[in-house]
Structure 1
Amino acid sequence: MGLLLFYFINLHGLNIKIINNIIMRSYNLKEKETYMKNILIISSSPRKTGNSQMLCEQFKAGAEFTGHKLNLIQLVEKKIGFCRACDVCMQNGGICILKDDMYEILEQFKKADVLVLATPVYFYGVSAQMKTFIDRTYPIWQNLGYKEVYYIISAGLGEDIINRSLGDLDGFVEHFQRYEIRGRIYATNVMEAGIVRSLPVLQEAYQMGKSV
Protein backbone atom coordinates (compact mmCIF):
# COMPACT_ATOMS: atom_id res chain seq x y z
CA MET A 1 0.00 0.00 0.00
CA GLY A 2 2.83 2.36 0.91
CA LEU A 3 4.64 1.68 -2.40
CA LEU A 4 1.46 2.27 -4.40
CA LEU A 5 0.84 5.60 -2.63
CA PHE A 6 4.47 6.62 -3.22
CA TYR A 7 4.12 5.73 -6.92
CA PHE A 8 0.86 7.70 -7.20
CA ILE A 9 2.37 10.75 -5.52
CA ASN A 10 5.42 10.80 -7.79
CA LEU A 11 3.40 10.04 -10.92
CA HIS A 12 1.18 13.05 -10.39
CA GLY A 13 3.89 15.39 -9.16
CA LEU A 14 2.34 15.72 -5.73
CA ASN A 15 3.86 15.55 -2.28
CA ILE A 16 2.65 14.58 1.17
CA LYS A 17 2.35 18.19 2.32
CA ILE A 18 0.00 19.10 -0.55
CA ILE A 19 -2.16 16.03 0.07
CA ASN A 20 -2.36 16.83 3.78
CA ASN A 21 -3.38 20.41 2.96
CA ILE A 22 -6.12 19.15 0.64
CA ILE A 23 -7.42 16.78 3.32
CA MET A 24 -7.36 19.50 6.00
CA ARG A 25 -9.14 22.03 3.77
CA SER A 26 -11.85 19.48 3.04
CA TYR A 27 -12.21 18.71 6.75
CA ASN A 28 -12.39 22.38 7.71
CA LEU A 29 -15.03 23.04 5.05
CA LYS A 30 -17.18 20.18 6.32
CA GLU A 31 -16.72 21.37 9.90
CA LYS A 32 -17.78 24.91 8.93
CA GLU A 33 -20.86 23.59 7.11
CA THR A 34 -21.76 21.48 10.14
CA TYR A 35 -21.83 24.51 12.45
CA MET A 36 -23.48 26.95 10.04
CA LYS A 37 -26.78 28.05 11.56
CA ASN A 38 -29.92 29.50 10.05
CA ILE A 39 -30.61 32.73 11.95
CA LEU A 40 -33.87 34.67 11.81
CA ILE A 41 -33.91 38.20 13.22
CA ILE A 42 -37.33 39.72 13.89
CA SER A 43 -36.99 43.50 14.22
CA SER A 44 -40.17 45.16 15.43
CA SER A 45 -39.19 48.81 15.57
CA PRO A 46 -41.63 51.03 13.63
CA ARG A 47 -38.66 53.29 12.87
CA LYS A 48 -36.40 52.03 10.10
CA THR A 49 -33.48 53.75 11.81
CA GLY A 50 -34.58 52.94 15.36
CA ASN A 51 -32.12 51.91 18.05
CA SER A 52 -33.25 48.29 18.27
CA GLN A 53 -33.09 48.06 14.47
CA MET A 54 -29.48 49.30 14.47
CA LEU A 55 -28.59 46.72 17.09
CA CYS A 56 -30.17 44.04 14.89
CA GLU A 57 -27.99 45.13 11.98
CA GLN A 58 -24.88 44.87 14.13
CA PHE A 59 -25.89 41.43 15.40
CA LYS A 60 -26.42 40.40 11.78
CA ALA A 61 -23.00 41.70 10.73
CA GLY A 62 -21.30 39.78 13.52
CA ALA A 63 -23.11 36.53 12.70
CA GLU A 64 -22.39 36.91 8.97
CA PHE A 65 -18.70 37.35 9.77
CA THR A 66 -18.64 33.83 11.20
CA GLY A 67 -20.42 32.36 8.19
CA HIS A 68 -23.98 31.84 9.39
CA LYS A 69 -27.03 32.23 7.16
CA LEU A 70 -29.01 35.35 8.08
CA ASN A 71 -32.49 36.67 7.44
CA LEU A 72 -33.34 40.04 8.99
CA ILE A 73 -37.06 40.86 8.81
CA GLN A 74 -38.26 44.38 9.57
CA LEU A 75 -41.90 43.96 10.48
CA VAL A 76 -42.66 47.60 9.65
CA GLU A 77 -42.01 46.77 5.99
CA LYS A 78 -44.41 43.83 5.97
CA LYS A 79 -48.15 43.59 5.56
CA ILE A 80 -49.32 41.71 8.66
CA GLY A 81 -52.90 41.82 9.87
CA PHE A 82 -54.12 41.25 13.40
CA CYS A 83 -55.13 37.76 14.53
CA ARG A 84 -58.93 37.52 14.36
CA ALA A 85 -59.24 34.71 16.93
CA CYS A 86 -61.43 32.77 14.49
CA ASP A 87 -59.64 29.46 15.22
CA VAL A 88 -59.95 28.37 11.58
CA CYS A 89 -56.22 27.56 11.59
CA MET A 90 -56.84 25.01 14.34
CA GLN A 91 -59.31 23.18 12.10
CA ASN A 92 -57.52 23.17 8.75
CA GLY A 93 -53.97 22.10 9.56
CA GLY A 94 -52.53 25.46 10.56
CA ILE A 95 -53.49 27.61 7.56
CA CYS A 96 -54.37 31.20 8.47
CA ILE A 97 -57.28 32.78 6.61
CA LEU A 98 -55.36 36.06 6.33
CA LYS A 99 -53.41 36.21 3.09
CA ASP A 100 -50.51 38.49 3.92
CA ASP A 101 -46.76 38.44 4.53
CA MET A 102 -47.03 36.38 7.70
CA TYR A 103 -47.19 33.14 5.72
CA GLU A 104 -43.66 33.58 4.39
CA ILE A 105 -42.40 34.76 7.79
CA LEU A 106 -43.75 31.57 9.40
CA GLU A 107 -41.95 29.50 6.76
CA GLN A 108 -38.70 31.25 7.67
CA PHE A 109 -39.49 30.78 11.35
CA LYS A 110 -39.84 27.01 10.93
CA LYS A 111 -36.43 26.76 9.27
CA ALA A 112 -34.57 28.88 11.83
CA ASP A 113 -32.11 27.35 14.29
CA VAL A 114 -31.63 30.71 15.99
CA LEU A 115 -34.29 33.34 16.67
CA VAL A 116 -33.51 36.95 17.56
CA LEU A 117 -36.45 38.96 18.93
CA ALA A 118 -35.90 42.72 18.95
CA THR A 119 -38.28 45.36 20.26
CA PRO A 120 -38.37 48.86 21.66
CA VAL A 121 -40.25 49.34 24.93
CA TYR A 122 -43.63 51.04 24.47
CA PHE A 123 -45.85 51.59 27.52
CA TYR A 124 -43.64 49.13 29.41
CA GLY A 125 -44.30 46.35 26.89
CA VAL A 126 -43.21 45.19 23.45
CA SER A 127 -44.10 47.16 20.34
CA ALA A 128 -47.42 46.64 18.57
CA GLN A 129 -45.53 45.10 15.66
CA MET A 130 -43.91 42.48 17.90
CA LYS A 131 -47.17 41.62 19.65
CA THR A 132 -48.91 41.21 16.31
CA PHE A 133 -46.11 38.92 15.11
CA ILE A 134 -46.35 36.80 18.25
CA ASP A 135 -50.14 36.49 18.00
CA ARG A 136 -49.89 35.49 14.34
CA THR A 137 -47.69 32.49 15.15
CA TYR A 138 -50.82 30.89 16.61
CA PRO A 139 -51.36 28.57 13.60
CA ILE A 140 -48.13 26.74 14.51
CA TRP A 141 -48.13 27.30 18.27
CA GLN A 142 -48.17 23.55 18.92
CA ASN A 143 -45.10 23.06 16.77
CA LEU A 144 -42.84 26.05 17.39
CA GLY A 145 -39.87 23.70 17.58
CA TYR A 146 -36.43 24.11 19.15
CA LYS A 147 -34.66 27.46 18.93
CA GLU A 148 -31.65 29.19 20.36
CA VAL A 149 -33.02 32.60 21.36
CA TYR A 150 -31.56 36.09 21.73
CA TYR A 151 -33.34 39.25 22.90
CA ILE A 152 -32.58 42.82 21.83
CA ILE A 153 -34.50 45.48 23.76
CA SER A 154 -34.18 49.27 23.63
CA ALA A 155 -35.84 51.65 26.07
CA GLY A 156 -36.08 55.40 26.47
CA LEU A 157 -35.67 55.12 30.24
CA GLY A 158 -33.68 52.90 32.61
CA GLU A 159 -33.39 49.12 32.69
CA ASP A 160 -36.09 48.79 35.37
CA ILE A 161 -38.84 49.47 32.79
CA ILE A 162 -38.03 46.54 30.50
CA ASN A 163 -39.31 43.76 32.77
CA ARG A 164 -42.77 43.68 31.21
CA SER A 165 -41.27 43.50 27.73
CA LEU A 166 -39.18 40.57 28.90
CA GLY A 167 -42.35 38.96 30.23
CA ASP A 168 -44.01 39.33 26.82
CA LEU A 169 -41.07 37.71 25.04
CA ASP A 170 -40.64 34.99 27.66
CA GLY A 171 -44.35 34.17 27.47
CA PHE A 172 -43.95 33.53 23.75
CA VAL A 173 -40.70 31.58 23.91
CA GLU A 174 -41.95 29.35 26.72
CA HIS A 175 -44.43 27.85 24.24
CA PHE A 176 -41.58 26.40 22.15
CA GLN A 177 -41.05 22.65 22.38
CA ARG A 178 -37.49 23.40 23.50
CA TYR A 179 -35.57 26.62 23.77
CA GLU A 180 -32.40 28.09 25.16
CA ILE A 181 -32.03 31.81 25.78
CA ARG A 182 -28.42 32.43 24.77
CA GLY A 183 -28.13 36.18 25.23
CA ARG A 184 -29.79 39.52 25.91
CA ILE A 185 -28.85 43.01 24.78
CA TYR A 186 -30.39 45.98 26.59
CA ALA A 187 -30.00 49.55 25.34
CA THR A 188 -31.44 51.86 27.99
CA ASN A 189 -31.91 55.63 28.15
CA VAL A 190 -31.94 55.79 24.35
CA MET A 191 -34.95 57.97 23.63
CA GLU A 192 -33.50 59.59 20.50
CA ALA A 193 -33.47 57.51 17.29
CA GLY A 194 -29.98 56.41 16.31
CA ILE A 195 -28.30 57.35 19.58
CA VAL A 196 -26.87 53.83 19.97
CA ARG A 197 -24.38 54.67 17.20
CA SER A 198 -22.18 56.29 19.84
CA LEU A 199 -22.70 53.74 22.62
CA PRO A 200 -20.72 50.59 23.56
CA VAL A 201 -23.89 48.50 23.22
CA LEU A 202 -23.50 48.67 19.43
CA GLN A 203 -20.24 46.72 19.63
CA GLU A 204 -21.81 44.37 22.18
CA ALA A 205 -24.48 43.46 19.64
CA TYR A 206 -21.82 42.78 17.01
CA GLN A 207 -19.84 40.55 19.36
CA MET A 208 -22.96 38.67 20.40
CA GLY A 209 -23.70 37.97 16.74
CA LYS A 210 -20.16 36.63 16.28
CA SER A 211 -20.60 34.32 19.27
CA VAL A 212 -23.66 32.49 17.92
Structure 2
Amino acid sequence: MVQIIPVKNEEDYQLLLSVESLICKETPERWHQHFGGIGVDRYFFGDNNDEIFEYGKLIYLENHTIGYALVYLEEGEYNVSLLSEWKEKIAEIIPLIEKMLHKGQSISTVCNDNLVKEQLIALGYVSQGEVTYSAVIDLDRYIPEVVLSRRAIQYGLGILKERGLKYVYVDTSADNEKAIGLYRSVGFIKCIDVIAYNKEIFTPNQ
Protein backbone atom coordinates (compact mmCIF):
# COMPACT_ATOMS: atom_id res chain seq x y z
CA MET A 1 0.00 0.00 0.00
CA VAL A 2 1.36 3.41 -1.02
CA GLN A 3 1.44 6.16 1.61
CA ILE A 4 2.43 9.83 1.33
CA ILE A 5 3.80 11.21 4.60
CA PRO A 6 4.66 14.89 5.24
CA VAL A 7 8.26 15.81 5.97
CA LYS A 8 7.93 16.80 9.63
CA ASN A 9 11.43 17.03 11.08
CA GLU A 10 15.14 17.09 10.35
CA GLU A 11 15.36 13.30 10.12
CA ASP A 12 12.65 13.25 7.45
CA TYR A 13 14.40 16.07 5.60
CA GLN A 14 17.71 14.19 5.50
CA LEU A 15 15.89 11.07 4.27
CA LEU A 16 14.30 13.11 1.48
CA LEU A 17 17.73 14.42 0.44
CA SER A 18 19.16 10.91 0.39
CA VAL A 19 16.32 9.65 -1.82
CA GLU A 20 16.79 12.60 -4.18
CA SER A 21 20.49 11.78 -4.42
CA LEU A 22 19.74 8.12 -5.22
CA ILE A 23 17.32 9.15 -7.97
CA CYS A 24 19.98 11.39 -9.52
CA LYS A 25 22.58 8.63 -9.36
CA GLU A 26 20.23 6.21 -11.13
CA THR A 27 20.37 8.38 -14.26
CA PRO A 28 24.06 9.32 -14.68
CA GLU A 29 23.57 10.06 -18.37
CA ARG A 30 21.17 12.81 -17.32
CA TRP A 31 22.40 14.05 -13.96
CA HIS A 32 26.04 12.81 -13.82
CA GLN A 33 27.07 13.25 -10.18
CA HIS A 34 24.37 15.80 -9.46
CA PHE A 35 22.97 15.34 -5.95
CA GLY A 36 19.72 17.25 -6.39
CA GLY A 37 18.48 20.74 -5.70
CA ILE A 38 16.16 20.45 -2.71
CA GLY A 39 18.86 21.67 -0.34
CA VAL A 40 19.42 24.91 -2.28
CA ASP A 41 17.16 27.00 0.00
CA ARG A 42 19.20 26.06 3.03
CA TYR A 43 22.42 26.66 1.13
CA PHE A 44 21.35 30.26 0.45
CA PHE A 45 19.23 31.03 3.52
CA GLY A 46 20.73 28.87 6.28
CA ASP A 47 19.77 25.76 8.22
CA ASN A 48 16.79 27.48 9.82
CA ASN A 49 14.97 27.65 6.49
CA ASP A 50 12.07 25.25 7.03
CA GLU A 51 9.82 25.81 4.01
CA ILE A 52 10.40 22.18 3.01
CA PHE A 53 8.16 21.18 5.93
CA GLU A 54 5.27 22.91 4.16
CA TYR A 55 5.51 21.11 0.83
CA GLY A 56 7.87 18.11 1.19
CA LYS A 57 6.35 14.60 1.23
CA LEU A 58 7.97 11.18 1.49
CA ILE A 59 6.42 8.34 -0.49
CA TYR A 60 6.39 4.89 1.08
CA LEU A 61 5.42 1.44 -0.15
CA GLU A 62 4.98 -0.64 2.99
CA ASN A 63 8.21 0.16 4.89
CA HIS A 64 10.25 1.19 1.85
CA THR A 65 10.89 4.80 0.87
CA ILE A 66 10.35 4.81 -2.90
CA GLY A 67 10.40 8.52 -3.71
CA TYR A 68 9.21 11.96 -2.73
CA ALA A 69 6.76 14.65 -3.77
CA LEU A 70 6.80 18.43 -3.56
CA VAL A 71 3.19 19.60 -3.23
CA TYR A 72 2.41 23.33 -3.38
CA LEU A 73 -1.20 23.50 -2.20
CA GLU A 74 -1.97 27.16 -2.87
CA GLU A 75 -0.41 27.13 -6.32
CA GLY A 76 -2.04 23.83 -7.28
CA GLU A 77 1.30 22.42 -8.40
CA TYR A 78 3.24 19.31 -7.56
CA ASN A 79 6.27 17.28 -8.64
CA VAL A 80 6.84 13.58 -8.04
CA SER A 81 10.19 11.76 -8.21
CA LEU A 82 10.43 7.99 -7.81
CA LEU A 83 13.22 5.47 -7.73
CA SER A 84 13.22 3.62 -11.05
CA GLU A 85 12.11 0.31 -9.54
CA TRP A 86 8.83 1.87 -8.43
CA LYS A 87 7.83 4.17 -11.29
CA GLU A 88 4.84 2.00 -12.18
CA LYS A 89 3.33 3.07 -8.83
CA ILE A 90 2.76 6.58 -10.19
CA ALA A 91 -0.82 5.61 -11.10
CA GLU A 92 -1.52 5.03 -7.38
CA ILE A 93 0.43 8.03 -6.16
CA ILE A 94 -1.08 10.80 -8.28
CA PRO A 95 -4.69 10.30 -7.06
CA LEU A 96 -3.42 10.51 -3.47
CA ILE A 97 -1.75 13.83 -4.23
CA GLU A 98 -4.84 15.13 -6.02
CA LYS A 99 -6.85 14.53 -2.83
CA MET A 100 -4.60 17.03 -1.03
CA LEU A 101 -5.49 19.79 -3.51
CA HIS A 102 -8.65 21.89 -3.77
CA LYS A 103 -11.69 20.69 -5.70
CA GLY A 104 -12.37 22.82 -8.76
CA GLN A 105 -8.69 23.76 -8.90
CA SER A 106 -6.65 23.59 -12.07
CA ILE A 107 -3.54 21.65 -11.10
CA SER A 108 -0.26 21.21 -12.89
CA THR A 109 2.93 19.18 -12.76
CA VAL A 110 6.06 18.80 -14.84
CA CYS A 111 7.59 15.58 -16.07
CA ASN A 112 10.70 14.35 -17.87
CA ASP A 113 10.08 10.60 -17.76
CA ASN A 114 8.28 8.79 -20.60
CA LEU A 115 6.60 6.17 -18.39
CA VAL A 116 5.25 8.84 -16.06
CA LYS A 117 4.09 10.93 -19.03
CA GLU A 118 1.99 8.01 -20.26
CA GLN A 119 0.42 7.59 -16.83
CA LEU A 120 -0.38 11.30 -16.55
CA ILE A 121 -2.22 11.26 -19.87
CA ALA A 122 -4.10 8.11 -18.82
CA LEU A 123 -5.20 9.95 -15.65
CA GLY A 124 -6.66 12.84 -17.63
CA TYR A 125 -3.76 15.28 -17.80
CA VAL A 126 -3.19 17.38 -20.91
CA SER A 127 0.28 18.35 -22.13
CA GLN A 128 1.02 22.07 -22.12
CA GLY A 129 4.30 21.65 -23.99
CA GLU A 130 7.87 22.17 -22.89
CA VAL A 131 8.25 24.72 -20.10
CA THR A 132 11.92 24.52 -19.10
CA TYR A 133 15.18 24.29 -21.02
CA SER A 134 17.55 22.19 -18.90
CA ALA A 135 21.14 21.75 -20.04
CA VAL A 136 24.54 20.63 -18.79
CA ILE A 137 28.16 21.28 -19.70
CA ASP A 138 31.12 18.96 -19.07
CA LEU A 139 33.86 21.23 -17.73
CA ASP A 140 36.57 18.69 -18.56
CA ARG A 141 35.75 19.23 -22.25
CA TYR A 142 35.04 22.95 -22.00
CA ILE A 143 37.25 25.20 -24.15
CA PRO A 144 36.52 28.93 -23.80
CA GLU A 145 36.33 31.26 -26.79
CA VAL A 146 36.85 35.00 -26.71
CA VAL A 147 33.40 36.36 -27.59
CA LEU A 148 32.21 39.44 -25.71
CA SER A 149 28.60 38.34 -25.16
CA ARG A 150 29.79 35.04 -23.67
CA ARG A 151 32.51 36.48 -21.45
CA ALA A 152 30.53 36.55 -18.17
CA ILE A 153 29.43 32.93 -18.49
CA GLN A 154 32.91 31.86 -19.53
CA TYR A 155 34.42 33.66 -16.55
CA GLY A 156 32.02 31.87 -14.19
CA LEU A 157 32.63 28.47 -15.78
CA GLY A 158 36.38 29.01 -15.50
CA ILE A 159 36.14 29.70 -11.77
CA LEU A 160 33.94 26.64 -11.20
CA LYS A 161 36.37 24.46 -13.14
CA GLU A 162 39.30 25.76 -11.05
CA ARG A 163 37.36 24.82 -7.91
CA GLY A 164 37.09 21.22 -9.09
CA LEU A 165 33.52 21.09 -10.37
CA LYS A 166 32.94 18.63 -13.19
CA TYR A 167 29.51 19.65 -14.49
CA VAL A 168 27.34 22.77 -14.49
CA TYR A 169 23.57 22.76 -14.94
CA VAL A 170 21.30 25.55 -16.10
CA ASP A 171 17.54 25.98 -16.32
CA THR A 172 15.60 28.69 -18.10
CA SER A 173 12.17 29.13 -19.62
CA ALA A 174 11.72 27.05 -22.77
CA ASP A 175 10.73 30.20 -24.71
CA ASN A 176 13.77 32.22 -23.59
CA GLU A 177 15.47 31.98 -26.98
CA LYS A 178 18.24 34.48 -26.23
CA ALA A 179 19.38 32.67 -23.08
CA ILE A 180 19.13 29.25 -24.73
CA GLY A 181 21.20 30.46 -27.68
CA LEU A 182 23.83 31.85 -25.32
CA TYR A 183 24.04 28.64 -23.29
CA ARG A 184 24.36 26.57 -26.45
CA SER A 185 27.06 28.85 -27.80
CA VAL A 186 29.38 28.09 -24.87
CA GLY A 187 28.76 24.34 -25.00
CA PHE A 188 25.72 23.54 -22.86
CA ILE A 189 23.83 20.47 -24.10
CA LYS A 190 20.15 19.89 -23.41
CA CYS A 191 19.79 16.93 -21.02
CA ILE A 192 16.04 16.47 -20.45
CA ASP A 193 12.64 17.46 -21.85
CA VAL A 194 10.62 19.14 -19.08
CA ILE A 195 6.97 19.00 -20.13
CA ALA A 196 4.11 20.63 -18.20
CA TYR A 197 0.81 18.80 -17.70
CA ASN A 198 -2.47 20.27 -16.54
CA LYS A 199 -5.71 18.85 -15.14
CA GLU A 200 -8.91 20.22 -13.61
CA ILE A 201 -10.02 18.60 -10.35
CA PHE A 202 -13.79 18.54 -10.54
CA THR A 203 -16.20 18.65 -7.63
CA PRO A 204 -18.48 15.59 -7.25
CA ASN A 205 -21.51 17.29 -8.85
CA GLN A 206 -19.50 18.21 -11.92
Calculate the TM-score normalised by the size of structure 2.
0.31
More helix by share: 1
More strand by share: 2
Calculate the TM-score normalised by the size of structure 1.
0.31
